[in-house]
């Protein structure tokens, strides 16, 4: 499986738009998607895939080419995160890599999962797909995922496996460290697509 972009394949690698960690150990990303705005975004661009051709005008050529390879059917699923206060979400997003498992969370459980295939910072694309939030931020730290898998993992089950407090709740995007990711991958059916 391709991991997105690397220096040999993409001319913009040095700009940092798609640079990703290259390792064999998939990590787990906890992605909240339960609030009204997030649920709407989830329905529009994750639950219902979008045509790559509908977003080409917002992509640089290397990104469009890489996505065409990742999604030969021409359909993709896409999500994004805002920069967050003091860039906290950006720092997490920079750790995302191809093959990582994204767990979509809300209403007290993990309700879906998918494997991350590609990421790119793209404000114009995010504005087109989702607009901006009440603070004027958009979900410009964009990532694309593969096939969606329905899940039914309660936060209590997840907290037990991750050795978190029983009242654990997913409130913001987070990427688990290697050990916690390995525990989640072992405990739950989060197979790659």
Concatenated DSSP letters for the chain? ---S--TTT-TTGGGTSS-----SS--EEEEE--SHHHHHHHIIIIIS-EEGGGTGGGS-HHHHHHHHHH-TTSEEEEEEE---GGGHHHHHHTT--TTPEEEEEETTEEEEEEEEEEEEE-HHHHHHHH---TTS----EEEEE---EEEEEEHHHHHHHHT--TT----S-EE--HHHHHHHHHHS-----
pLDDT digits (tens, 9 = 90+) for 52-85: 999 999 999 999 999 999 999 999 999 999 999 9
Tokens of 124: 């114009």
Tokens of 125: 């694309």
Which residues, 6 or more positions from 159, have their beta carbon under 8 angstroms from its beta carbon?
Answer: 165, 166, 167, 168
User: Averaged over 85-105, what is the pLDDT?
Assistant: 96
Residue 15: the pLDDT is 38
User: Averaged over 131-156, what is the pLDDT?
Assistant: 96
User: Averaged over 139-161, what is the pLDDT?
Assistant: 98
User: Averaged over 154-178, what is the pLDDT?
Assistant: 97
> Does residue 182 contact residue 25 with C-beta atoms inside 8 Å?
yes
User: Averaged over 1-21, what is the pLDDT?
Assistant: 39
Average pLDDT, the chain: 89
CATH number of 26-187: 3.10.590
Residue 24: the pLDDT is 65
Percent with pLDDT over 70 in the chain:
88
Tokens of 70: 């990742």
Residue 114: the pLDDT is 98
Domain positions in the chain are 26-187
Residue 193: the pLDDT is 73
């Amino acid at each position: 499986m391709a991991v997105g972009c690397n220096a040999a394949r993409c001319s913009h690698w040095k700009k940092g738009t798609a640079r990703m960690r290259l390792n064999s150990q998939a990590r787990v990303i906890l992605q909240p998607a339960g609030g009204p705005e997030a649920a709407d975004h989830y329905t529009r661009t994750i639950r219902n895939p979008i045509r790559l051709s509908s977003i080409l005008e917002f992509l640089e050529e290397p990104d469009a080419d890489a996505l065409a390879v990742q999604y030969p059917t021409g359909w993709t699923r896409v999500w994004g995160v805002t920069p967050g206060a003091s860039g906290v979400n950006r720092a997490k997003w920079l750790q995302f890599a191809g093959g990582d498992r994204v767990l979509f969370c809300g209403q007290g459980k993990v309700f879906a999962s998918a494997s991350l295939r590609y990421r790119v910072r793209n404000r114009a694309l995010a504005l087109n797909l989702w607009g901006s939030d009440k603070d004027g931020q958009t979900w410009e730290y964009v990532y694309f995922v593969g096939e969606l898998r329905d899940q039914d993992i309660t936060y209590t089950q997840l907290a037990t496996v991750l050795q978190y407090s029983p009242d654990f709740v997913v409130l913001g995007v987070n990427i688990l460290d290697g050990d916690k990711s390995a525990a989640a991958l072992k405990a739950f059916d989060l197979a790659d697509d």
